Structure 1
Amino acid sequence: MNRAVVVGVDPSEPNRAAVDWAADEASRRRADLRLVHARSGAAGPVEAQQLDREWTRVAADHPEVTVAAELVDGAPREALLTAAADAALLVLGARGAGGFPRLLVGSTSLHAAAHAACPVVVVHHDAATGGDGGVVVGVEGRDEEGPVLAYAFEAARRQSLPLTVVHAWSYPLVLGPGHEVPPVYEEGHVEAEHERLLTEALAGWRERFPDVAVTATAVRSGSAKELVSASAGHALVVVGRRGEPSGPFGRLGSTSQAVVQYARCPVAVVPV
C-alpha cells in the first residue's frame, strides 16, 4: 500500500488550497489522505466541528480517496513532523499557524521543509493550481541529486505533464584589491562544461521515463531567480534540500528558501 499523504490543516481557517492540492495528489498516488491539525491545548467544540466539516468536504470531492482527520497534541512545528514521520509526502499552506499572508522565515512551513523526513510541498493560497506548463526541477549536477530528479520525473508522469530541467550557473568571483572581479574565462568553454554537467545529470533518466517529455536548459543566471521566474504558469517546482545541517533551517539552502517563499506555483522540497 502507498504511504499516506499528510496535510496540515487549521480548522479555524481551513487552508483550502493546500488541502485540495493534497487531496488531488493522494488521488494521483492512490494513497490515503490524512488531515492533521496540531493543537497546543484542548480542542474546543467549534474547532473540532470545523475540522469535521473539512473532512466531509474533501471526502465528498474525492470519494476514491480514504480520508482521515486527526487532532494531534503539540506545537505545530514538531507535531506535524511527527505526524508525517512515515508519510510519503507532507503538504502545508504557506500561511502556517502564524496567519501570515506569505511565507516568512521561521514559519511552520519553512521549518517543516527544512526538517521533514519526507518531501514537503508548500502551497501558496494565491498559487495553488499553478498552470499547465508542466513541472520544473532545479539541478546543480551533483551525484546525490537522484531523489530530486526521481520526484520530478514521477510527478510529471503522474500528471501527464512535460518536465523542464534547469541548471543555472554563473562565473565564480575572485577577490581583487578592494573589489570583486571576474577572472578571465573563455565563455564558450565554461558554457560547454555546464552543458556537460547537465547532460551527465540526466543520464539514464529519459530512458527510465520514456513517457515524460523533457526539456533541459543550462542558463547563466542565479538559481533562485531562474526557478522563481520559471514557476509562472507551471504546475510544480521541485528543489533539493541542502545546506549546513547545523544552520537555523537544517539543510534548506538559500536557493530553496527563496523558491519556497516566492514561487508562483506549489513547491516540492525533496531531501537528498
Structure 2
Amino acid sequence: MNTSNAKYAIVVGIDGSGESLRAVRWAAAAARLRHEPLHIVYGFAPLSGFYGAGMPVLQNAYDDLVRAGERVVAEAVGAAREITGEHVRITSEMPNEPAAPLLVERSRNARMIALGSSGTGGFTGMLIGSTTVAVSAHAACPVVVVRGRDAESGPVVVGVDGSPSGERALAMAFEEACRRETPLVAVHVWSDDQFTGFYGSLPLALDWEEIERDEQRLLAERLAGWQEEYPDVKVERVVVRDRPRHQLVEWSGQAQLVVVGSRGRGGFTGLLLGSTSQALIHHAECPVMVVRP
C-alpha cells in the first residue's frame, strides 16, 4: 500500500460503499483535469462501532477484516486508475482511525476532499452519512459531496451572498468554471425577511423594484473583480426574490457542480453549516462543493 507524507492535492474518503466509489471517480476526474495527485483514504476502524469493542479480538478475525479493507482500497485505486490512466500519481492509506477525524486532519494539507453522499453506516433512510456532514462542517479545505446524477455537462452554479465563506465560494466557483471550460451561473437571492423583519411586519412602504435593482448592483460588485481575473468565463447573473436553498436546489438539476459557502449571513452564531449548505448536501441533484472561509 502506498502512503505519502507530502502535502495532498485531492483527497477522497472511501468506506466500501457504492457512493464512495462514485466519489473516487469524481475525484479522479478532478485530479486528471488539474494534473494533480490523488490520495485515497480509508479510515479503518472496524471495531469502533461494535458493543464490547474493548474486549480481546481473535487475531484471525482481525486479519480477515484487514484483508477485506485492503480489497476495498485496491478496488478504489483501480477505479481511479481507469479514469486517470498513468498520468496522475495515486497514493492510498488505511490507518486504524475513525473516518471523520482522520479526513478533517488530512484536510489541513489538501486542496479539496471528495466524499460520497452516504456510506455503509448510519440508519436506513438517512439522506446523507454522518461522516460527510462532520467533514463538511469541520474541514480546512473545500469539501465536495458527490451526489445526484453523474453530471459531466452544464454550468457551475454558485450562491452569492456577500458572507466570508460566500466570497471564498465565489473564488472556487470561478476556478472550477475556468478549468471545466463551462459557464458560471451566479445566483443571488434576497427575501422579504431582510427588509420586513422575521414576523413580516412592514415598518414603512417599500419599493420592491428599487430593492431588486440594489440587489442586482450588489451582485455586479461582487462579480466585477473575478470577471477581470477570469475573462474567458461566461457569467450569467440571476437575482431573484426567494429562499437561497430553493433556488440552488432547483439550479442543481441542470448544473454539473454547485458551489456554496458553509454558512451565509443568516442563522445562529456558532453554526458550522448553514441551512442552505445543509439543504444542498441532502437534496441537490448534482455534486456540491461546500467552502469554508
TM-score of the aligned structures, taking structure 1 as reference length? 0.88
For residue 206 of structure 1, what is the aligned residue in structure 2?
227
Q: Would the aligned equivalents of 1:14 and 1:54 in 2 still touch at CA under 8 Å?
A: no
Please name the residue that 1:240 is paired with.
Answer: 261
Q: In structure 1, the residue corresponding to 2:144 is in which secondary structure?
A: strand
Q: Which blocks of at least 5 consecutive residues in structure 2 are unaligned?
A: 1-5, 47-61
The structure in which a higher percent of residues are strand is 1
Deviates most, 189-198 or 222-231: 189-198
> What CA RMSD, in Å, does the superposition of the two structures yield over aligned residues?
2.3
Over 3 Å counting, the alpha-carbon distance change for 1:12 and 1:48 in structure 2 is farther
* Aligned-residue identity in percent: 37
Structure with higher Rg: it is 2
Deviation at 1:62, TM superposition (A): 1.3
Contact 2:159/2:187 (8 A) holds in 1:
yes
Residue 144 of structure 2 is matched in structure 1 by: 121
Q: 3-state DSSP class of the match of 2:92?
A: strand
Per the alignment, residue 54 of structure 2 pairs with none
What is the one-letter code of the residue matched to 1:189? E
Aligned pair partner of 2:251 in 227, 230, 246: 230
* Deviation (angstroms), 1:12: 5.9
Q: 2:11 aligns with which of 6, 11, 16?
A: 6
Matches within 5 A, 1:251-270: 252-270=273-291
Residue aligning to 1:30 = 35
2:84 is matched with 62
Q: Which amino acid aligns with 1:70?
A: E
TM-score, length basis structure 2: 0.82
Matched, 1:181 2:186: no
Give, in whole Å, the separation in 2 of the partners of 1:32 and 1:220. 42
Q: Which residue of 1 aligns with 2:98?
A: 75
Which is worse superposed, 55-64 or 14-23? Answer: 55-64
Q: Number of aligned residue pairs: give it.
A: 263
Distance verdict in 2 for CA 1:87–1:168, change over 3 Å:
same
Q: CA deviation at 1:47?
A: 2.1
For structure 1, list consecutive stretches of 5 or more residues without a partner in the other structure.
none
- 8 A Cα contact 1:23 1:33, kept in partner: yes
Once the two structures are superposed, the pairs formed by residues 99-178 of structure 1 within 5 Å of their partners are 103-104=127-128, 107-124=130-147, 126-127=148-149, 129-130=150-151, 132-142=153-163, 145-172=166-193, 173-174=196-197
1:187 positional shift: 1.2
1:270, distance to aligned residue in structure 2 (A): 0.7
What's the CA shift string for 1:141-200, capped at 9, x where partnerless? Answer: 34664321110000001111000000001122337xxx6434531111111111111111
